[in-house]
Amino acid sequence: MATVTYDKATRIYPGADKPAVDQLDIAIEDGEFLVLVGPSGCGKSTSLRMLAGLEDVDGGAIRIGDRDVTHLPPKDRDIAMVFQNYALYPHMTVAENMGFALKIAGVPKSEIRQKVEDAARILDLTEYLGRKPKALSGGQRQRVAMGRAIVREPQVFLMDEPLSNLDAKLRVQTRTQIAGLQRRLGITTVYVTHDQVEAMTMGDRVAVLKDGLLQQIDSPRNMYDRPANLFVAGFIGSPAMNLIEVPITDGGVKFGNSVVPVAREALTAAADKGDRTVTVGVRPEHFDVVERGGDALRKDSGDGAAPAGLAVTVNVVEELGADGYVYGTVEVGGEQRDLVVRVPGRQVPDKGSVLRVVPRAGELHVFSTSSGERIGD
Ligand SMILES: Nc1ncnc2c1ncn2[C@@H]1O[C@H](COP(=O)(O)OP(=O)(O)O)[C@@H](O)[C@H]1O
Ligand SMILES: [Mg+2]
């Protein structure tokens, strides 16, 4: 077991004008399950392959435990990698596939058999040890690929989108199995995925990458509760956080007809940058519905007081049983904007109706409109 350290690790592909991975700094703890997540092309696989020794490191260093492995060949790094396509040998049985690396390393036959049988038991593969990969389901092949990594008892597991060839249901099952297995074995793991749900459910910590740059590294909880910038705010969470540019007013921000209080530091920070707006983030579950069935065009109520909140015209309602998601439009600063609001599953509004919603105070995220960075708290 070991820690893994990316120390300003950089990869610039020959002929590229900017790094695919730019001064990556991550300190992974012994036994930790770290997930690298981000959109396609952000540098996840490159980061993993740099750790595996399959890609040159052009700047900085990579360490496994106290060993500087930056320029070591893959075979000397004591890692095992699981690839997206599993890379099983078609002419070998499951047992031969799982034991192959040990055979190459000259491990005695009886020891190989023992390790393969142990891993097969953990992975529920015992009855398939004599089969060839083509006679297995996708999920079983995936487990063979895992088994091949496990028998090597490496210091670090590296996994590059190992679930992306499985159907949705199997993916959910397998992600729980992999996370559980990793916790039992306690082997430091770096896991790559583009799927933020996978990242959030599996990782002890999650590192979000964009354009080769680390955006934030945090526990799933903190990542969700305190995204560091607009990119992370929009990337983590499904449906995504609503992000709306709103004018700053005295003591808060103007949300339709309501002034929602915002931490003074956030407003000061925005003003210091010369911004007259901030971008406010509200998760779909953090709106209070203050009125149903109103009229979107109504500017004030009968007694002359302006109606509270934002008028949301309901376009689509997604009913998920426990919850419903309302996909609607609002008018902010003269523009039509999309808004998603979570409502209780048994209180979903009709399509075409109007809700008035107010973001819950204390659940507001505030970002600088000019820099995109979180401000205030
Ligand atoms: N072998 C390569 N040669 C040149 N550019 C590459 C190579 N592999 C990846 N890239 C580029 O580096 C960037 C990061 O790629 P990659 O690490 O594969 O992203 P991800 O795994 O996050 O989808 C992309 O812009 C990609 O086009
Ligand atoms: Mg990739």
pLDDT 10s digits, 44-59: 999 999 999 999 999 9
Specify whether 77 is located in the same domain as 170: yes
Specify whether 348 is located in the same domain as 254: yes
Does residue 377 lie in a domain region?
no
- Model pLDDT for residues 9-19, shown as the tens digit of each residue: 999 999 999 99
Question: Ligand 2 center to residue 123 CA distance, Å?
Answer: 25
Strand extents, DSSP E, the chain: 4-11, 21-28, 33-37, 59-64, 67-68, 79-82, 156-160, 188-193, 205-210, 213-218, 242-249, 252-255, 258-261, 277-282, 287-292, 310-319, 323-332, 335-344, 354-359, 365-368
Specify whether 138 is located in the same domain as 184: yes
* Ligand 1 atom with least separation from CA of 40: 23
Please give all residues whose CB falls under 5 A of ion ligand 2, grouped by chain where several chains appear: 45
Mean pLDDT, range 272-276, rounded to an integer: 86
- Model pLDDT for residues 64-73, shown as the tens digit of each residue: 999 999 999 9
Specify whether 148 is located in the same domain as 281: no
Mutational pocket test of ligand 1: of 11, 17, 46, 215, the residue with most ligand atoms within 8 Å of the beta carbon: 46
The residue segments making up the domain with residue 157 are 4-234
Question: Ligand 1 center to residue 372 CA distance, Å?
Answer: 25
Closest residue by Cα to atom 27, ligand 1, is: 41
Specify whether 310 is located in the same domain as 274: yes
Q: What is the pLDDT of residue 274?
A: 86
Specify whether 54 is located in the same domain as 113: yes
How many domains does the chain divide into? 2
Decide which of 191, 206, 234 is a domain's last residue. 234
Decide which of 218, 234, 250 is a domain's last residue. 234
Whole-prediction pTM value?
Answer: 0.92
Question: Ligand 2 center to residue 54 CA distance, Å?
Answer: 13
Closest residue by Cα to atom 5, ligand 1, is: 13
* Ligand 1 atom with least separation from CA of 48: 17
Which of 116, 366, 161, 328 is CA-nearest to residue 248? 366
Ligand 1 pocket member 5 (CB < 6 A): no
Residue 257 to residues 273, 280, 360, 369, Cα–Cα distance (Å): 26, 15, 15, 21
